[in-house]
Each structure stands twice: as structure tokens, then as C-alpha cells.
Amino acid sequence: MTESATATIDDLRGRIDEVDAELARLLERRALLAARVQRLKPVGGFAGRDPKREQALVAAMAAHAPRLGAARLARIMSEVIEAGLDAAEAEAAHGRSAQQH
């Protein structure tokens, strides 16, 4: 590999690192908002997922990310949603545990 190719790869990887950091901040923000939604749901606690809302979300996102497309985004967002719910449940359980002490 030439020196200029290495410099270009390093530059691009640096830019990817910046995007990854931004993505992590956005995922954290999303998880916090989703946890608030879960607390407000009328059935109490963690009411689970809304498949219609998820489909609409993926369709809207696909318009902004055509390279990924709806099928790939559906897989990604399913994991993002599941991770957010898991984090909110763990946080709620920790809060209940702390209140009991």
C-alpha cells in the first residue's frame, strides 16, 4: 500500500470514528427518550414494542439512508430498540432495588 493510500485510509477511519462517536451519543439520547416513553405508557412498566410504529420508523429512515434500505435498517433498529428497552428495564430494576434498601 502506498503512503498516500495509507494516509487516506487513516483519514477516512478517523472520520468514521467521529461518526461512531456521534452515533453513540444519539443512541444514548434515543435510549433515554425511549425509557421515558416506557414509564409513561398507560399499562405501566415496560409495555413492549409497537410493530406498526417500528415499520413506520424504518420506512422514514430508509428515505434518509437508501444505501442501507428498509430491510437492513429494520434489523439495525430492532437491535437498537431491544437494547434501549433492556437498558430501561435494568435501570428501573436498579431503581427499585435502591428504593428497597
Higher pLDDT, 91 or 66: 66
Instruction: Tell me 44's DSSP state.
Output: -
* Three-class SS state of 70: helix
The one-character DSSP state at 45 is: S
Domain ranges of the chain: 3-100
**Tens digits of residue pLDDT in 23-64:** 999 999 999 998 898 888 776 555 678 899 999 999 999 999
Domain 3-100 fold: Chorismate Mutase Domain, subunit A (1.20.59)
H/E element holding 57? helix 51-64
Query: Has residue 13 got a pLDDT over 70?
Result: yes
Angle at 83 between CA 29 and CA 18, to 5 degrees: 50
66 contacts 16 by C-beta, under 8 angstroms: no
Rounded CA-CA distance 64/57 in Å is 11
Measure the CA–CA gap between 96 and 92, rounded to whole angstroms: 6
